[in-house]
Structure 1
Amino acid sequence: MPTVVDLISYPVKGCAGIPLAAAELTWAGLPHDRSFMVVNDRGVYRTQRKDPLLAVIRPEVSSDGTQLTLHAPGADPLPVAVDTTSLRTDVDLFGNPFLGIDQGGTAADWLSEVLGTDCRLVRVPPEHDRVADGLIPGTSGYADSSPLHILSLATFDDLNERYAAAGKPPLPMSRFRPNIVVDGWDEPHTEDRVRRAEVGGTEVGFAKLAIRCAVTMVDQEKGTKAGPEPLRMFASYRRVPEGGVAFGSKFSVVRTGKLAVGDEFTVTEWEN
């Protein structure tokens, strides 16, 4: 039976992930996932596409969500009292207008020093009601699109087998920044055919294929661009009619509840 072997939340868009043993799945995904975003002084999003050093910033969020602590090599940890009540400010995510709550000058200064460029930190307001598109739409924070990225070990292992056959070193799972990793399928890309699944006390529904971008070329440990892989390899076998290359799939939350590493990933509906 397929099972969940990893749960990973990314509280600050573009920054390092937090592994979870268990979680309460919300309509917007795993707890605090992409609920914060680094922007420039005009409110425009920053991601690893242009700011790969985001990868080395490791966030921690208190269990009640009221405190965010930021860690980075060579910098003192920064505790941030999370502000959910101040005036909303306009932010831009891929050209789309949203609102954010600025988390203050100290966080802005710390991020600007670590990244070497002007930065502010914003949080999604409590009333944030963005709906990401897809076959089954779903609520999302500051994620690129849908709230959950699901990747199977079969898919990941198939990629690294291709690298081994070409005499190239394997890539780590961190390059692909999944939220849920599933083991137990024999065939790679089985997640692409799932339409609905129950995981613990939750239910998830397929939204779209995960079209991969230049973030996959960033070394997540060093915060540096290390391309052209895996995009070059994907281009040899994972081009899709929608355009680009796909690896893993995006899902929406159909039913909230508890889930944990070790839970069965029970598919209740497959692609016709």
Structure 2
Amino acid sequence: MSSMRFTDDLGSSHGWRLRRGVLDDGREVFAKVGAASEMFASEAAGLRWLGEAAAVPEVIEVGPDRLVLSWVREERPSPAAAERFGRSLAGLHRAGAPGFGAPWPGFIAELPMDNAPCDGWPAFYGERRVLPFLRLARLPAADAALVERAVERFPEVAGPAEPPARIHGDLWSGNVLWSGGGGVLIDPAAHGGHRETDLAMLELFGLPYLDRVLGAYREEWPLAEGWRERVPLHQLHPLLVHVVLYGEGYRGSLMRAVRRVLAL
């Protein structure tokens, strides 16, 4: 890589510094810099994998203490950009994955996730996503018992079996940058998963013109019957992550989603 100088400090996030810089060839870049972590290599692997089928920043450099990406010039979202993003997201999911999981260590924010393969999505989601974060969340015993009951129901309520989709894995609105007339994906927790997971995450915190995104997605690749009722199922893991990271304020949302899963 050509040499780089930092031009702007963009603050911090989850223990690493965010910097804007320029290479000596004039290209603008974005960098995450921090203590040595497997997270940087994991994110780079996920971006390269997603980039085979979707718009992502180019990985310029990755090392134990930094990740340097091409700078994404943002623009205002529009209905047309949202529809283009919906179609491209369907194409990404359709690109598929060898199995549920990934061959690199998983991370969401600074929290590690087990990406080891599992036999079927309900088992993967329960054993690799929900239960590990339930242990970290330290919920009251009664709440934890309800979450465990919901996990037991995953095989019944997950809907028709689908092949592993190539998913972003942490697709909240802040990880979609509007650029080039569509959406560019950043900060992935990429793995082979269920495509409804990405859509449920978009709904959790909202996205401009989400109805256009979902409409275009469904035109490109229709969703299985009952997908709307399964949204709370796919939101259990990100809500548990937020309880672990940010505490009691997300407990109510989590338990509402748990009760909706139990009522399916």
Greater relative contact order, per chain length (Cα 8 Å cut-off, separation 6+): 1
Structure with a larger share of its residues in strand:
1
TM-score, length-scaled by structure 1: 0.28
TM-score, length-scaled by structure 2: 0.28
Structure with a larger share of its residues in helix:
2
